[in-house]
Amino acid sequence: MKRTVELTPVILVDTYPSSMLHFIRRRRGVFLIVVLAVASILVFAFGVRPFGGQVGVSTHYLHFGSSGTEHSGWLMPADTLISTSHTANGTLSVFITANLVVFLYQIPQGTILYVSLYLNGALTATKQYNLTAYDGTTTVQGTDQNGAMNFSNPIPDLLGVGLSLSTTYPAGTEVTLLSWASNPLWVQIDNASLTHSYEISEQTSYAPPSSLTEPGSVAPFILSVKVESYAQ
């Protein structure tokens, strides 16, 4: 008998603080709390012993998508739905997160960023970010032959959406991150990826489709999207 798994989309909201220093300190504190919480859950619920080396790194984590190390960026247009998909290289279980790599450079005050997670084309979760104006100390080196901007010391940030998984998804599952911003944002691009980003449609307000059926037109660049899950 064919088993059907229904996923209920989750909507979360995150607000950046007005001070960048407070932002960095808060993110570090939250990160340590999350690392400890995840480690406890893995040890007591799943019998998994985290790797004893670097904090937050486990041999049971599955990573795929972009590396997030590029220094090239693209000014992602405002009011445009942009999708980027990657294929899972292993079984997905327990949780999944997909992160858009945003450069902290020339962020307009009051910018709203939405990111939505799709599994095999079905909407599963959405998160909203309210961004505070930030310019940073990034130095622009110029553009490359394709028109992307090159930075010498970019400050990347991972703005993503996650989901707890009640079932497993096999290798080959398509993981898609849908992005939309109310103002143009500098995002990291992936020059080595074999996938594509697609501009689906223009919207003055965010309304993610329940399923992705039409890919849209190929975007000028591939957005960097880092995906992580728990590997069985």
Residues 91-107: tens digit of each pLDDT:
999 999 999 999 988 89
Q: In 10 A of CB 96, how many CB atoms?
A: 24
- Closest to 140 measured CA to CA, from 129, 152, 131: 152
Confidence of residue 59 (pLDDT cuts 50, 70, 90): low
Task: Find the mean pLDDT for residues 1-13.
Answer: 45
pLDDT in tens, 158-215: 999 999 999 999 999 999 999 999 999 999 999 999 899 999 999 999 999 999 987 7
CA gap 230, 95 in Å, rounded: 6
pTM for this entry: 0.74
Strands (E), 68-221: 72-76, 80-87, 92-103, 111-119, 122-131, 140-143, 149-151, 156-164, 174-181, 185-188, 197-202, 217-218
Q: Comparing 232 with 194, which gets the higher pLDDT?
A: 194
Task: Map out the domains of the chain as residue ranges.
Answer: 10-18+60-231
Contact by Cβ (8 Å): 159, 100: yes
pLDDT in tens, 20-32: 434 444 444 444 4
CA gap 209, 3 in Å, rounded: 24
Contact by Cβ (8 Å): 74, 149: yes
Q: How far is CA 56 from the centre of its chain?
A: 18
pLDDT in tens, 33-58: 444 454 444 333 333 322 222 323 44
Confidence of residue 156 (pLDDT cuts 50, 70, 90): confident
What pLDDT is attached to residue 135?
A: 72
What pLDDT is attached to residue 232?
A: 74
* 86, β-bridge pairs: 175
Task: Find the mean pLDDT for residues 63-79.
Answer: 93
